[in-house]
Chain A
Amino acid sequence: MRVKIILTLVILSGLILAWNLHTIFFKVPDEANQGAIFRIIYFHVPAAITSFTGFYIGMFSGVGYLMKKDLRLDSVAASINEVSLAFASITLVTGSIWGRIIWGIWWTWDPRLTSYFVCLLIYFGYFMLRRAIDDPNTRARLSAVLSIFACVDIVLVWKSIEWFRTQHPGPVLEIRGGGGMAPGMEAPLWWNLLALLMLSAALILIRTRQEAMKREIDAMRRYAHAF
Chain B
Amino acid sequence: MTFLRRTLAVAAKDLRSEIRSKEAVNASISFALVILLLFSFAFDLEPEQIRDIAGGLLWLVFAFAGTLILNRSFARELVNDCLDALLASPVTGAELFFGKCLANYVLIMIVECISLPVFAIFYDVRLPHLAMLFLVMLLGTWGITVIGTMFSAMTVNLRLRELMLPTLIYPMLIPALVGAIELSHVLINNGALAENFIWFRILVAFNVIFTILALALVEIVLVG
What residues make up the interface of A, taking CB atoms closer than 8 Å to B? 66, 118, 121-122, 124-125, 128-129, 132-133, 137-138, 141-142, 144-146, 148-150, 152-153, 156-157, 159-161, 163-164, 167
Cα–Cα, bound, A122→B157 (Å): 20
Contact of A161 (CB < 8 Å), options: B157, B160, B168, B178: B178
Contact of A157 (CB < 8 Å), options: B158, B167, B175: B175
Interface residues of B in 171-224 (CB under 8 A from A): 171-172, 174-175, 178-179, 182, 196, 198-199, 202, 205-206, 209-210, 213, 217, 220-221, 224
A94 nearest CB across to chain B (Å): 21
Q: A132-B159, A152-B213 are in contact. Are A66 and B220 (CB under 8 A)?
A: yes
Q: Which residues of B contact A153 (CB under 8 A)?
A: 171-172, 174-175, 210
Residue on A nearest B214 in the bound complex, by CB:
A149
What residues make up the interface of B, taking CB atoms closer than 8 Å to A? 147, 150, 154-155, 157-160, 164, 167-168, 170-172, 174-175, 178-179, 182, 196, 198-199, 202, 205-206, 209-210, 213, 217, 220-221, 224
Cα–Cα, bound, A160→B173 (Å): 11
B217 touching A121, Cβ below 8 Å: no
B79 nearest CB across to chain A (Å): 21
A145 touching B154, Cβ below 8 Å: yes
Cα–Cα, bound, A219→B66 (Å): 41
A128 touching B167, Cβ below 8 Å: yes
Residue on A nearest B217 in the bound complex, by CB:
A145
Cα–Cα, bound, A146→B199 (Å): 25
Cα–Cα, bound, A124→B205 (Å): 25
Task: Please provide the 9 A-B residue pairs with the shortest distance between their CB atoms, ordered closest to farther.
Answer: A160-B175, A156-B175, A121-B171, A125-B168, A132-B158, A122-B171, A160-B178, A118-B171, A145-B217
A160 touching B224, Cβ below 8 Å: no
A-B contact pairs, 25 of them (CB 8 A): A66-B220, A121-B171, A124-B167, A125-B164, A125-B167, A125-B168, A129-B154, A129-B164, A129-B168, A132-B158, A137-B224, A141-B220, A141-B224, A142-B154, A145-B154, A146-B154, A148-B217, A150-B172, A152-B210, A153-B172, A156-B175, A156-B205, A160-B178, A160-B179, A163-B202
Cα–Cα, bound, A121→B171 (Å): 7
A142 touching B221, Cβ below 8 Å: yes
Chain B interface SS verdict (over half)? helix
Residue among A122, A159, A160, A163 having the largest count of chain B Cβ atoms under 10 Å: A160
A149 touching B213, Cβ below 8 Å: yes
Cα–Cα, bound, A146→B175 (Å): 17
Cα–Cα, bound, A146→B159 (Å): 18
Q: Which residues of B contact A132 (CB under 8 A)?
A: 155, 158-160, 164
B220 touching A145, Cβ below 8 Å: yes
B198 nearest CB across to chain A (Å): 6
A125 touching B171, Cβ below 8 Å: yes
B175 touching A145, Cβ below 8 Å: no
Cα–Cα, bound, A137→B224 (Å): 9
Residue on B nearest A157 in the bound complex, by CB:
B174
Q: A156-B206, A161-B174, A163-B198 are in contact. Are A141 and B221 (CB under 8 A)?
A: yes
Residue among A128, A146, A156 having the largest count of chain B Cβ atoms under 10 Å: A156
Residue among A66, A129, A144, A153 having the largest count of chain B Cβ atoms under 10 Å: A153
A183 nearest CB across to chain B (Å): 36
Cα–Cα, bound, A144→B198 (Å): 31
